[in-house]
A = this chain, B = another copy of it.
Amino acid sequence: MTNRLRGILAPVVTPFDADLKPDARRFVQHCQWLVSQNAGLAFFGTNSEANSLSVNERIALLEALVSSGIDPAKMMPGTGCCALTDSVELTRRAVDAGCAGVLMLPPFFYKAVSEDGLFRSYSEIIQRVGNSRLRIYLYHIPPVAQVSISAGLIERLLKAYPGTVAGIKDSSGDWNNTEMLLKCFQSESFDVFCGSEVFLLQNMRGGGAGSITATGNVNPAMIHDLFVNWQQDDADEKQAKITGIRRAFEVIPLIASMKSVIAWKRNDPQWAEVRPPLMSAPKDKAEQLRGKLDEMGFQMQF
């Protein structure tokens, strides 16, 4: 296979207008900037507030993005919903739009579901979409979804749908799990992405494909630089620096903190908005964050 998505992808944050509607203009502009910084577009992820959007709102953003002229080969939208029919609809649209892949949450409402049930879910989606161009990246994020992608499930899916099941994003926050995934599954047709750039160097050293990471939204160039130069002598130093920036953002819940910084750097306060149940960054904390980032020499070049 050629043209596989590798490297750094950002789960693109979704801008809202004053009425809390998704703002396609700001969204496309942010995506264009990310691409200019060598980041791929994993829009409709956790940090995109994707599950706070209706299916129709997601379709409208996808269409706006595709018609903006950005190459769909850089796109890996999230399409995993609680409802089978929603996942099928979004996945079908993504494949038809030519997206390189989709990042797929398991259905996350019911807890303690069986491996059989999760296999059945992915299986139904793959069969209903019925397109050989489909590439699914499994999305393992137990702290949020509370429903996990186990090694046993991956094994069954790879056996049933080789080629289609194309990789995983590991947002467990547990390096031991990523290491297991690299050892057991990383191959030319199955890519392991770490879910935070904090693990990027370790993931590259273990043979991984890169990182799909929140702060790819604000710090893509530095993270991409480490992705390209991970075999150089100064890689550990670079890792420490990007980790430091990540930690600075984490003093506020990440979605709110990244949006507040984009609002600041773009001089566009509307960017700070989030949809409920989230809350935008408190003024004092956002100000502290700006001070801290200035101290660190953090920049976003538009």
Residues of A at the B interface (CB closer than 8 Å) are 20, 46, 51-55, 57, 82-86, 89, 106-111, 113-114, 116-118, 120-121, 123-124, 143-147, 275-279
Interchain CB contact under 8 A, A83 and B124: no
- Taking a contact as CB atoms closer than 8 A, the residue among B108, B123, B275 that contacts A84 in the complex is B275
Which of A52, A111, A114, A116 has the largest count of B CB atoms less than 10 A from its CB? A52
Q: A57-B85, A84-B276, A120-B276 are in contact. List 18 more A-B contacts (CB 8 A).
A: A20-B84, A46-B109, A51-B82, A51-B107, A51-B110, A54-B85, A55-B55, A84-B275, A109-B144, A110-B277, A110-B278, A113-B277, A114-B279, A118-B277, A120-B279, A121-B276, A124-B276, A147-B277
- Whole-angstrom distance between the alpha carbons of A121 and B149 in the complex? 30
Quick one: closest B residue to A255, CB to CB? B110
Interchain CB contact under 8 A, B106 and A277: yes
Q: In the complex this chain forms, how many copies of it are found?
A: 2
Min Cβ gap A173→B in Å is 13
CB-defined contacts of A118 to chain B, threshold 8 Å: 276-277
CB-defined contacts of A278 to chain B, threshold 8 Å: 110, 113, 117
Quick one: closest B residue to A147, CB to CB? B277
Interchain CB contact under 8 A, A53 and B85: yes
- Whole-angstrom distance between the alpha carbons of A277 and B52 in the complex? 21
Interchain CB contact under 8 A, B117 and A279: yes
Min Cβ gap A234→B in Å is 37
CB-defined contacts of A54 to chain B, threshold 8 Å: 55, 83, 85-86, 89
Min Cβ gap A87→B in Å is 10
CB-defined contacts of A53 to chain B, threshold 8 Å: 83, 85
Contact of A83 with B51 at beta-carbon distance under 8 Å, contacts A108-B109, A124-B20 already known:
yes
Contact of A83 with B276 at beta-carbon distance under 8 Å, contacts A111-B146, A124-B20 already known:
no
Min Cβ gap A89→B in Å is 7
Interchain CB contact under 8 A, A117 and B276: yes
Interchain CB contact under 8 A, B51 and A277: no
- Whole-angstrom distance between the alpha carbons of A120 and B51 in the complex? 17
Interchain CB contact under 8 A, B20 and A83: no
CB-defined contacts of A277 to chain B, threshold 8 Å: 106-107, 110, 113-114, 117-118, 120-121, 147
